[in-house]
Amino acid sequence: MYALIGKMVTQKGQRDRLVAILSEAAREMEATADCESYRVHVSLDEADTVFIYEVWRSEEAHAASLSLPEVKEYIDQAKPILDRVERVAALELRT
C-alpha cells in the first residue's frame, strides 16, 4: 500500500478551520475502498501547522482521488487559508 505524509501551514490562526475541512474530507475518503486511512493532526511544535497521514491501495488510487469533484471542492475550500504545502514523504507501507 501507498502512504503519504503531508505538511500544511495555514495563514495565521486558520489551523482549526483547515482541520475542520480536512476532517470532513477524511470521512469521505475513508468511506471509499481505495483509502485505508486519512488522518489529520496538528503539530505540537509549530504554530498553524497540520500534518496528514494517508494510506491508499496504490499510488494510482491516490492520484485518481485528486480528480474527484468532491475532493476538488475540499481543495478549493482549503486553498485560500493555506500558506504552504509540503510533501514530507511518499512511502510504501510495510506493516
Cell of 23: 476532517
Site for its own copies in 5-44 (CB under 8 A): 5, 7, 19, 22-23, 26-27, 38-44
Helix (H/G/I), strand (E/B), else coil: 31: coil
Q: How far apart are CA 88 and CA 11, in angstroms?
A: 19
User: In the chain, what's the furthest Cα-to-Cα distance?
Assistant: 37
CB of 7 to its own copies, least distance (A): 8
Non-local CB neighbours of 73 within 8 Å, separated by 6+ positions: none
Q: Which residue from 31, 33, 79, 95 is in contact with its own copies, where contact means CB under 8 A?
A: 95
- Size, binding site for its own copies by CB under 8 A: 26
Q: Which residue has the cell 481505495?
A: 34
Q: Which residue from 47, 63, 85, 88 is in contact with its own copies, where contact means CB under 8 A?
A: 88
**Residues binding its own copies (CB under 8 A):** 3, 5, 7, 19, 22-23, 26-27, 38-45, 51, 53, 88-95
